[in-house]
Chains A and B, each alone.
Chain A
Amino acid sequence: MIRSLPYSKTYGLSFKLYIILYFTFLFAPLLVTCVLAFNDSQFPSLPWKGFTFEWFTGNLPERVGIFHDQINLDSIWVSVRVAFFVTLLSVSVGTCGAFLFEQEDFRFKPVLYFLMLAPLVIPGVILGISILMFSTVLGIHFEETWKLDVGLFRPGFWLVVLGQFSFIATLVTLVVSARLRKFDRTLEEAALNLGANRFEVIWYITLKFLRPAILGSAAVAYLMSFENFNTTLFLVGSEATLPINLYLQVRDGSTPVINAISFLLIVGTSLAALANLYFSRKETQ
């Protein structure tokens, strides 16, 4: 039963046990990954051979730590850049979308709204292949008609950005819309009445109000982009993003460097998540 009702001891205990099991299930793989990042062994497995930082800082021929592992470092840098542009694009377009669907009226609005939701139901793999095919068709068309070789149409950095943006923008639109729906539109009228034009109203009043939602969705967009695999898999060119790069390594046998990277990712994203939570709590208070 619920906390305000009396319940039997067995009920309480078994429920508690279940929750403990659930959390073990949740954290076991992450914990093991982190711990093995510090094992002084050539393989990410037990037995424990002693504590070492070498998988982070080492620079020996047989043991290259992550800080000296150029390929992995490069892929992190690619991911950082991709995520930056994806966030920028999806937050700006998603915010436009929120304004469009919440505040404007036009014909075919339900159709467009449905289209906006579509990326939620399209598997990421399909998004990836359809964008890949379409860009290739466009590329061939440009080349045959105008003898133009447009780099954007080949798998690579910008195609990855576009592919990830295509569904992350939906997420931003939904998050910002939810907040915009709570906005009291008389505030806009009040600002108009005090002499602000439409642009100033949006800038000083509406966007200020939306700020927590925009910042929150930007953080989520960044993380989603940083971790995306399914869509990216088909669009990636010579510059592999971190998940793609890690996938190739994991598939072909792994070293504790992957644990070290995972450790950094776990710590980094946890801190980011905590910070995001902290600030969003603070904003809403």
Chain B
Amino acid sequence: MKISALLLSLAAMLAAAGGSLAADSPKTGGLLKFAVSAEPPNYDCHANSSFAFIHPVRPHYSTLLKFDAAKYPAIKGDLADSWTVSKDGLTYTFKLRKGVKFHDGSAFTSADIKATYDRLRNPPAGVKSLREGTYVDISSIDTPDPLTVVFKLKKTNASMLANFASPWDCVYSAAKLKQDPRFPERNIMGTGPFTFVEHVAGSHWTGRKFDGYFEKGKPYLNGYMAIFISGAPMVNALAAGEVLAEFRGHSPADRDRLVKTLGDKAVVQDSPWVCSLVVTFNTKKKPFDDARVRRALSLSIDRWGGAQALAKVALVRHVGGVMRPGYDLAASEKELVQYPGFSKDINASRAQAKKLLQEAGVPNLSFSFTNRNVAMPYTPVGVFLIDQWRQIGVNAKHEQLETRLYLAAMQKDKPTYDAALDFNCDFMDEPNLALQKYISDDRSSINYSGHIDRALDELYDKQSGELDKKKRYALLREFEKRTLEQAYVVPTIWWHRTIVTHKQLKGWHITPSHYVGQDLADVWLDQ
């Protein structure tokens, strides 16, 4: 009796384990439909910085390295098979995968890596690269053979390996770039798991499984369709199962509604987010060329009260400086409250702000505040900021623009905005990435403020080359203090990411960045 019971329970355990294994082993086939709440402004990875681009486009491309989404922030090879870093930290050697093909059937070699990174760090005339600053420390790129590439650095850079895993650094075909350096702006042609099928503006973007993809057996999906839909219709589509996911993030209200509607079909994942909303002042325009005006506007923002209240209705939650709160190189709360605009005594801060505006000769300041028309979290934070400024007698006119017009208004060559709600989102916690918006205009491709501040540049360079964590931390506090005093760009509230997916969507893992883990190579449908 006892033996038969034991055998029965053993059989049951084996069956359960078998069932679980069967459920967890990836199945092939199916079309993944997901929502994207905005459209890509063009097709070039190197010139983009929005989720609206990366979610539909990333599955077409590969990068040299990539983040292992399931074990974030661990890095693994994508086009690189293996790599070594020299002891002095100045030479990075990558061995590339064999037999990789582009979607047009041409062979991938080290020349493609060189052409891609040359374009990123030194874009030819007419080509826009938002990552010039990231690769400024590279002195040369050598290709001793078709499957080896060697990067040599001018000086040590603490974030270089992570940079090679950047999801923005799509590898392009050297041959195509030679014919036309602007080829990627209008064409999609990579080595990624999915080939491009079509982009119907205002409707959808589709990709089909690339049969020649270098990872055998992947991708699992037959294809994907990114449907451009936002706001309530997007939540409705998700609730109805017309789309299985939206990978950027949901507001608390949307999360609650989806969980209520989908019940046990919903899978909720959440994480702190390497994203903050920052106010960028156009320092080339009066009165924002005056530090007193910028600082006054920062001083009037009740970040602590705002974060607590907005967390109930928007996807923002944390107060932080230039680095994500909670990250080991970020300022502690004790340090933070010492900075202008971060004091918990908001009345004293606002009194000081009014005084500064008076001194600057603009006590009744009025300006146009440019914002994106992406509802979450831009609209609530925009409304919050306008209210904060009203409390010191400042009138900000809210101008919410479609993504393309918003980016055009903030163009580096001819910025037309006064002040804007900008985002500072990175694919990982790393000062060299997070500080790009704060360093001088001539050194950063994402500085929209237009300021030149050599003191900040010097502090940035020092921390970038500093391998001792304690010393780097101290340098970062100096940088943070100066940047918040000068207030060219001021952080407001940091985000919190929540994703609700349907249960049948498998192989996708949340990370603190909505840019990472979006090549869909490991995603499958349990159907």
Q: Do A and B come from one complex?
A: no
